[in-house]
Amino acid sequence: MSISKELLEILACPLCKGDLKWEGSFYVLICEKCGVFYQVVDDIPILLPDSAKPLSELGKVPPPSEQP
């Protein structure tokens, strides 16, 4: 699973409207400007402001094979 280049071009951070970067090893989208990430669950980016998690928690995200 990955996010297509075309989709990445239209997705934006819901907090700052900035660009998001795909981090395939964690299956998350990262907003470097805000210092947060958003999980991708079942190929669906969860881009709700309340779902943003600080980058400091990125290592705590289980690999996709272990996600419920």
Neighbours of 52 (CB within 10 A): 18
Within a domain: 9: yes
Rounded distance between C-alpha atoms, residue 40 and residue 3, angstroms: 9
pLDDT for the residue numbered 67: 52
Range of the domain at 6: 1-42
pLDDT for the residue numbered 59: 80
Q: How confident is the model at residue 43 (pLDDT cuts 50, 70, 90)?
A: confident
**Which residues lie below 8 Å from residue 2, measured CB to CB, with a gap of 6+?**
22, 24
Report, as an integer, the average pLDDT of 23-50: 93
pTM for the whole structure: 0.84
Within a domain: 50: no
Domain count within the chain: 1
**Choice between 64 and 41, residue whose per-residue pLDDT is larger:** 41
Q: Is 54:61 a contact under the CB 8 Å cutoff?
A: no
Average pLDDT across the chain, whole number? 88
Within a domain: 14: yes
The one-letter amino acid at 55:
L
Within a domain: 54: no
